[in-house]
A and B are shown apart, each in its own frame.
Chain A
Amino acid sequence: MAAKSVIPFGPQHPVLPEPIHLDLVMEDEHVVEAIPSIGFVHRGLEKLVEKKDFQEMVYVAERICGICSLGHGLGYCDAVEHLMDLEIPERAKFLRVIWSEMSRIHSHLLWLGLLADAFGFESLHMQAWRIREQVLDMFEESTGGRVIFSVMKIGGQRRDVPQDMLKSFLERFERMEEEVKVIARTFMDDAAVQSRLKGIGVLSADQAEALGCTGPFLRASGVARDIRSTGYSAYGDVHVEPITGTVGDSYARCDVRIREIFQSFEIIREAVGKIPEGPVEVPVKGFPSGEYMTRIEQPRGEALYYVKANGKKFIERMRVRTPTFANLPGLVEMLKGCELADVPILILTIDPCISCTER
């Protein structure tokens, strides 16, 4: 048996835009154990509930992350609305679905670009990000922001989207869909790409479930669980079928995310077809009281939002369990037995968001 050595990976590494550290215990070129370290830039945003009232906390929630901003705002608002027994207007629910799916498209395209960049396919990386820019343009037109949108509020939305703008989005999404099909063929069929992804970092369905994994990382292993199936916001009015893989390797994770992009186009089309006219917010009276935990399907997986309030302006506790936090044990398991050269790609395949994790 070869002697064991420990190689530190991160927190600064070309493939990691954000800091996470792994102590890789190696035998020759193979990883036998990985011990994760996080907390390099923990911000303690959850403690701001003591200084920001329950309405202002929406802005804080939206700033947990620049990619999942909309989802964090939605999750927090949904939890507080449940506490206050607020029924938001149907139009606001559909807008939440449309914006959520736009977030999923741009998040998955961002990930595809990062993946291509990680294995040195620069033109593919640029194509993925070029397509993604169009979603950000549509976000800017409909919300006023490209990264932080600030459209969520307790009781609905801060702004409406005109019907003709939604219809123009559909035309643009149709063109985008054709462009995504082109890069999807390269990701799925290119021999060089396949050689970096197929059979690498396999996680079985049982392992993924036991380790509490979530999102595309979980579904690629064959577990059909997608929190959108619970029907929150207006997801109960559109068709959502969990997209799964079978093999549980890096290629399956890539495949699931690509198919989810096309699914998001479909959901947006259905939601725009069904969105009713009407107001997008209801008045909010009083203060929240009690405790509630809600969950939503972020692009990276299931996110939990726990709120505890006591009928005062400031809530007592807000807790966010982000998908990356839940996926770390799965990552550690998946790294066992892999080659050192595959570690950067494998870390990427869980689509880690350290900004969310270091909330």
Chain B
Amino acid sequence: MNMKIRDVDANLILDESHQMQHEGYRLMQICATRAEIPDPSAAAGEGGETATIPAYEIIYTFGMGLLMENLKVTIPQTQSIISITSAYPCAFLYENEMHDLFGVEIRMINLDYRGTLYRTSVKAPFKD
């Protein structure tokens, strides 16, 4: 049994977050996962297979009472994403964690530790 996840465009995640906040949802967690997505710049091979590029899947979990709602954003690893701390100030810990463990670039975090939340000997150890 899989959980229900709604895919959201990366450019809309801040609007979606504000909407969730307006509706009374709380932020439960944000987490990143490594993924691969089709390379938009590559043509399909002879067998129909397409080249892929490394990406991140970022899952935002919101809750209201005992309800749980998951939104998923998929971005290439080279792309950054906007912070949702303007909607949920407590998101700063999750976003700094994603940056330090996976190397996800996040813009405009209200409290940006700039890679010092986790003192890891390897930079972004979960990226590869």
Contacts and interface: CB of A to CB of B under 8 A. Distances in A.
A35 interface: yes
Interface stretch (B7-15, B26-34, B37-45, B74-82): B26-34
Nearest to B90: A329
Interface of A: 35, 37-40, 42, 44, 46-47, 82-83, 85, 209-212, 225, 227, 229-230, 290-293, 295, 302, 304, 306, 308, 316-317, 319, 321, 325-326, 328-329
Contacts of B65: 225
Contact of B119 (A42, A82, A211): A42
Given A85-B1, A210-B26, A317 B34 contact: yes
Given A39-B120, A82-B3, A291-B2, 6 more contacts: A35-B111, A212-B27, A292-B2, A304-B28, A304-B29, A316-B34
Nearest to B88: A212
B59 interface: yes
B31 A319 contact: yes
Interface of B: 1-3, 5, 26-29, 31, 33-34, 59, 61, 65-66, 68, 70, 88-90, 92-93, 100-101, 111, 113, 116-120, 125-126
Nearest to B5: A291
B89 to A, nearest CB: 7
A225 B66 CA distance: 7
Contacts of B125: 44, 47
Nearest to A329: B90
Closest 7 pairs (CB-CB, A-B) = A39-B118, A329-B90, A290-B2, A321-B29, A317-B33, A319-B31, A212-B90
Contacts of B116: 37, 39
